[in-house]
Amino acid sequence: MEVKPYVRTAMLDGKPAPVTSSGPAGWLKKNLFDGPWNTAATLVALVVVFLLLSHLLPWVFQSVWNAENLAECREIIDATWGPEHSGACWAVIHDRYLQLIYGFYPWDFLWRPNLTFAMMLVAIAPVLFTQLPRKMLIFSCLFPFIGAWLLWGGSIWQPVMVLAGFGIGAAAFRYLAKVNRILSIAAAIVLPVIWWVFVMETVVHGLHAVIPLGLEPVQSNQFGGFMVSIIIGLTAITCSLPLGIMLALGRQTELFIVRTFSVGFIEFIRGVPLITLLFVASTLLNYFMPPGTNFDLIVRVIIMATLFSSAYIAEVVRGGLAALPKGQYEAADSLGLDYWQAQQLIIMPQALKIAIPGIVSTFIGLFKDTTLVSIIGILDPIGLSNAIRADSAWNGIYWELFAFIGFVFFIFCFSMSRYSMYLERKLNTGHR
Amino acid sequence: MAIASDPPKGGFQLSQLIYDTRYRSMTIQVATLIGVLALVFWLGANVTENLAELGKPIDFGFLGEPAGYDINQRLIEYDNQDIHARAAFVGLLNTLLVAFLGCILATVVGVLVGVLRLSHNWIVAKIMTVYVECFRNVPVLLWIVLAMAIMIEALPQPRDFRGDDPAASMLFDAFAFTNRGVYIPEPLFSRSLGDFSFFGIFDISIDLIAILAVLAAGIFTAKKIGAQADQIQNQTGIRPKTWPKTAGVILVPLLAILAILGFHLGYPALKGFNFDGGTHLRNSLIALWLALSFYTAAFIAEIVRGGIMAISKGQSEAAAALGLRPNRIMRLVVLPQALRIIIPPLISQYLNLTKNSSLAIAVGYMDLTGTLMGITLNQSGRELECVMLTMLIYLAISLCISGAFNIYNQRVKLKER
């Protein structure tokens, strides 16, 4: 009997996957209805989402944007959607948004914070995006002085002379370095301090008398709203970065006394709530200064917020330093670099790169924590929401204000955390 | 090393203090010490001068004076004739109470959300992501005042519970949620053993001590039974049934002591315009507790998710290959490893929660900040003493929590060679 072997000579075409495992239906089955438990979870989730949205969306969108006060708002809502409907009264935001942003900053001078904000974006850009020309960093260094002058006003000679202090320090460092390095460092620290504390005020007065250039001064108690949150948050984080790096290095060093002080400071600050530090700023800081000194509440808050976040930054940077392979330190030593050279050229660029996500999240935390200043009487957005509610026109309005403030904070913080993720991806050189 | 630094010839020169590495570290340290001491002396001198000018030298005597204010939410007896120190102590207990409750709820919610964020169910995972992002990116103070506003505005008034056809009703006839707070049943003892007083500052109920002692003894015995079962299992391979015995040694003595003490629940009941009886949890406590818990839970969820994701997939695959079921894989293989990663950041979240509880002042919950740094400060005018004392107490709490958890951390840490 002849056996005819069955041998296929041509390959069959592949069949398309069944509809249940590909396309939208497959996606639905895999992600939403995979087994009884999963189906139940999906249904429960859908019900929850439906309940939330069916209450929230009408409230948000069937709402009033133009009204003089809360009663009028309610009347319009009743007339339009019936008395059963509860809609948001966004008119309060429409009515008071300038206040929520600027506080009680004089209306005529709103261009000043606006200009400062625009300049701030320009100043931050080269720090955030390395593709931009490096020359822009010069503007970033000058910005704090211009910004402070624009916001608080006063004589233009004040910021110029403060800047001159840095100039004096740099000049002293450069020219005395030829004589003696130690002497030049000491002079670069001492001379500017002498200039700022003893000489500057007379010079500013003199120059202002000769050439009176300046802006109308604005008192700190007129500051408020998101402006104050951004001022405190941004200044504190900028100042706390160098301080935090120094503290982190101090904690890592082998010098016993330096290490003890660093650890003590960091642990103390991290062990107490920010609100106690703010109380120190509002009630105690003047006790620690020579009698007669009385400086601005916002500046005092910035000082305490700086100390607070520097301790957290120090811990983040320490994490970065610890994550660096020991070989990097040894390689730097073997090249004959001294401590500061090694830090500047080898250690810090890598350690800070590792620490960036932590630094950003510290900043987000600090930015959110600026709302605490409402407790010591600064009119930040939350403080202002109480002030607006105290007005008889808007008495009893809660949710709209909270929703607006929360929304703005969400936008800021969420975009910052996304930026940090972008940076993490960009800097990830596959080193770990 | 020996070749590089040959000893300088001649005697000691002053410049060696800076240029010679052998002495330089000493120089730096001494300079730092002098600098810090000078700063401290300068600040101290300023403080003494300022205080002398104001005519109020540092004095903690005010702590012994009558406080003269009431604290509505308290764990121990207190009235406005008690001294400031006792008021501060009531505040401290309130801080610890909300921190303790908050840590528990935040952990439960956080772990749940963190695990659900990893769910294969797309919509559940997305909902959890939205929850985490919403809570993480909005200030905790806003959540606290929002929770307070919800408590006051959205819950029914006590008078809504009245009448034949009330607008609101009690849950199980035992819990009442009103805009003046939440009323829950309170434990009462008809044959109470009374209180034990520590130097008149702190009273503790002997009933509570007795119950805790019986419970501890029960758990200790149950552990013994478990260890015995382990031993039998090791020898014979068969694990004897332990749960009836375990339940017996814990529950029977507990029920016995409760019966001896005459334990019963006191239910809240509507009397006049308000509820009477039961334990009254103030709005401020509930609002603070919920806001802190859900805010911290968002961070804990991220920590839990990160911890679970850090365990390599091979671990769970290997466990599956051994024939373990999914929940056992989680319990026996993934979680023990993930916990090592999760615990340290979790501790810092607990610390954050405890420190954030000081925001109680925004809703009027009388915690340490509200008593010692709030009304006591305003009444006595002793800013320096009050703020310093408050900071020290918070510091002590933080150090205790982190110390305790560090010990635990050392124990679960991987024992490497």
Q: What is the DSSP string of A192-261?
A: HHHIIIIIHHHHHHHHHHHS--EE----GGGB-HHHHHHHHHHHHHHHHHHHHHHHHHHHHSS-HHHHHH
**Contact B384/B62 with Cβ under 8 angstroms?**
no
Assess A256–B contact: CB distance below 8 Å, yes or no: yes
CA distance A130 to A138: 14
Within 106-135 of A, beta carbons closer than 8 Å to B belong to: none
Strand-strand pairing, B186-189 and B263-266: antiparallel
Q: Which of A261, A284, A409 sits opposite B137 (nearest CB)?
A: A409
> Which residues on chain A are in Cβ contact (under 8 Å) with B391?
272, 276, 280
> Cβ contact (<8 Å) for A284 and B398?
no
Q: Is B280 helix (H, G, I), strand (E, B) or coil?
A: strand
The two tokens of residue B105 are: 């709820």
Handedness of CA B358, B363, B366, B372 (dihedral sign): positive
Higher pLDDT, B166 or A213: A213
Q: Which of B133, B134, B373 sits opposite A279 (nearest CB)?
A: B373
CA distance A93 to A202: 46
Which among B120, B104, B114 has a CA at the least distance from the CA of B335? Answer: B114
DSSP line for B82-110: SBHHHHHHHHHHHHHHHHHHHHHHHHHHH
Q: Is B363 helix (H, G, I), strand (E, B) or coil?
A: coil
- Can you tell me which residue has the tokens 């954030």? B356
DSSP line for A63-127: -B---SSHHHHHHHHHHHH-TT----BTHHHHHHHHHHHHBT--GGGTHHHHHHHHHHHHHHHHH
Assess B142–A contact: CB distance below 8 Å, yes or no: yes
Environment class of B307 (CB within 10 Å of its CB; exposed 0-12, middle 13-18, buried 19+): buried
> Rounded mean pLDDT of chain B?
83
> CA of A247: how far to CAs of A110, A314, A317, A354, B28, in Å?
39, 6, 9, 17, 15
Q: Which of A70, A193, A275 to mutate to test the interface with B (most CBs of B within 10 A)?
A: A275
What φ, ψ does residue A65 adopt, rounded to 5°?
-105, -20
Nearest Cα of chain A lies from the Cα of B144 at a distance, in angstroms, of 11
Q: Can you tell me the mean pLDDT for B79-102? A: 87
pLDDT (tens digit, 9 = 90+) per residue, B382-401? Answer: 888 889 899 999 999 999 88
CA B194 to chain centroid, in Å, comes to 28
Within 140-179 of A, beta carbons closer than 8 Å to B belong to: none
Assess A13–B contact: CB distance below 8 Å, yes or no: no
Strand-strand pairing, B195-198 and B186-189: unpaired
Q: Which helix (H) or strand (E) holds B186?
A: strand B186-189
Q: Which of B33, B139, B398 sits opposite A409 (nearest CB)?
A: B139
Q: Is B205 helix (H, G, I), strand (E, B) or coil?
A: strand
Assess A38–B contact: CB distance below 8 Å, yes or no: yes
What φ, ψ does residue B102 adopt, rounded to 5°?
-65, -45
Within 196-225 of A, beta carbons closer than 8 Å to B belong to: none
Residues listed for chain B: 417
Which among B93, B87, B286, B258 has a CA at the least distance from the CA of B189? Answer: B258
Handedness of CA B345, B346, B351, B352 (dihedral sign): positive
Higher pLDDT, B199 or A239: A239
Q: Can you tell me the mean pLDDT for B111-130? A: 89
Per-residue pLDDT of chain A (432 residues; tens, 9 = 90+): 677 878 888 888 888 887 777 778 778 877 777 778 888 888 998 999 999 998 888 888 888 888 888 888 888 888 888 777 778 888 888 888 888 888 888 888 888 889 999 999 888 888 877 788 888 888 888 888 888 888 888 888 888 888 888 888 888 888 888 877 778 888 888 888 888 888 888 888 888 888 877 788 888 888 888 999 999 999 998 899 999 999 999 988 888 888 999 999 999 999 999 999 999 888 888 888 887 777 788 888 999 999 999 999 999 999 888 888 888 889 998 998 888 889 889 888 888 888 888 888 899 999 999 999 998 888 888 888 888 888 888 887 888 889 999 999 999 999 988 888 888 887 776 544
> Cβ contact (<8 Å) for B142 and A371?
yes
Res. B132: pLDDT tops 70:
yes
> Cβ contact (<8 Å) for B139 and A369?
yes
CA distance A64 to A61: 9
Residues listed for chain A: 432
> Cβ contact (<8 Å) for B355 and A273?
yes
Give the range with max mean pLDDT: A373-377, B175-179, B189-193, B408-412: A373-377
CA distance A76 to A87: 10
Within 52-71 of B, beta carbons closer than 8 Å to A belong to: 53
Res. B48: pLDDT tops 60:
yes
Q: In what order do the strands lie in the sheet with B176-178?
A: B176-178, B181-184, B279-281
Distance between the two ends of chain A, CA-based, in angstroms? Answer: 69
Q: Is A8 helix (H, G, I), strand (E, B) or coil?
A: coil
Strand-strand pairing, A214-215 and B202-205: unpaired
Nearest Cα of chain A lies from the Cα of B90 at a distance, in angstroms, of 18
Nearest Cα of chain A lies from the Cα of B228 at a distance, in angstroms, of 38
pTM of the entire predicted model: 0.86
Nearest Cα of chain A lies from the Cα of B223 at a distance, in angstroms, of 35
Assess A271–B contact: CB distance below 8 Å, yes or no: yes
Contacts of B284 (CB under 8 A, 6+ apart): B73, B148, B360, B363, B364, B365
Nearest Cα of chain B lies from the Cα of A164 at a distance, in angstroms, of 26
Domain locations along chain A: 62-92+223-432
Q: What is the pLDDT of residue A243?
A: 93
> Which residues on chain B are in Cβ contact (under 8 Å) with A272?
355, 391, 394-395, 398
**Contact A305/A378 with Cβ under 8 angstroms?**
no
> Cβ contact (<8 Å) for A273 and B123?
no
Angle at B165 between CA B161 and CA B169, to 5 degrees: 35
> Cβ contact (<8 Å) for A413 and B138?
yes
Angle at A359 between CA A357 and CA A364, to 5 degrees: 95
Res. B1: pLDDT tops 50:
no
**Contact B192/B204 with Cβ under 8 angstroms?**
no
Assess B327–A contact: CB distance below 8 Å, yes or no: no
> Cβ contact (<8 Å) for B25 and A374?
no
The two tokens of residue A147 are: 């910004």
CA A179 to chain centroid, in Å, comes to 43
Assess A47–B contact: CB distance below 8 Å, yes or no: no
Nearest Cα of chain A lies from the Cα of B395 at a distance, in angstroms, of 5
The partner residues of A223 in beta bridges, in order of sequence, read A103
Environment class of B93 (CB within 10 Å of its CB; exposed 0-12, middle 13-18, buried 19+): middle
CA distance A42 to B346: 30
The two tokens of residue A309 are: 């976040």
Assess B256–A contact: CB distance below 8 Å, yes or no: no
CA distance A148 to A164: 16
What φ, ψ does residue A11 adopt, rounded to 5°?
-70, 140
The partner residues of A214 in beta bridges, in order of sequence, read A155
Q: Which of B14, B37, B124 to mutate to test the interface with A (most CBs of A within 10 A)?
A: B124
Assess B46–A contact: CB distance below 8 Å, yes or no: yes
What is the homologous superfamily of the domain A62-92+223-432 according to CATH? MetI-like (1.10.3720.10)
Nearest Cα of chain A lies from the Cα of B367 at a distance, in angstroms, of 13
Environment class of B130 (CB within 10 Å of its CB; exposed 0-12, middle 13-18, buried 19+): exposed
Q: What is the pLDDT of residue B198?
A: 64
B310-345: burial string, b at 16+ Cβ within 10 Å, e else? ebeeeebeebeeeebeeeebbeebbbebbeebbbeb
CA distance B63 to B232: 60
Higher pLDDT, A119 or B170: A119
> Cβ contact (<8 Å) for B142 and A405?
yes
The two tokens of residue A340 are: 């500061």
Domains of chain B: 91-174+284-417 (1.10.3720.10), 186-266 (no CATH)
Assess B236–A contact: CB distance below 8 Å, yes or no: no
> Which residues on chain B are in Cβ contact (under 8 Å) with A375?
359, 361-362
Q: Is B188 helix (H, G, I), strand (E, B) or coil?
A: strand
CA distance A200 to B393: 42
Nearest Cα of chain B lies from the Cα of A156 at a distance, in angstroms, of 32
CA distance A253 to A246: 10
Q: Looking at chain A, which residue has its C-alpha nearest residue B23?
A: A255
The partner residues of A317 in beta bridges, in order of sequence, read none
Under the banding of pLDDT at 50, 70 and 90, the label for residue B297 is: very high
Assess A270–B contact: CB distance below 8 Å, yes or no: yes
The partner residues of A381 in beta bridges, in order of sequence, read none
Environment class of B210 (CB within 10 Å of its CB; exposed 0-12, middle 13-18, buried 19+): middle
Q: Which of B28, B356, B358 sits opposite A276 (nearest CB)?
A: B358
Measured from the Cβ of residue A410, the count of other Cβ atoms closer than 10 Å reads 17
pLDDT (tens digit, 9 = 90+) per residue, B11-32? Answer: 777 777 777 777 888 888 888 8
What φ, ψ does residue B152 adopt, rounded to 5°?
-80, -40
Res. B113: pLDDT tops 70:
yes
CA distance A257 to A245: 17
In this structure, what is the dihedral angle of CA atoms B376, B377, B378, B379, given to the nearest 10 degrees? 50
DSSP line for A331-350: HHHHTT--HHHHIIIIIHHH
In eight-state DSSP terms, residue B198 is E
CA distance A136 to B347: 42
Under the banding of pLDDT at 50, 70 and 90, the label for residue B165 is: low
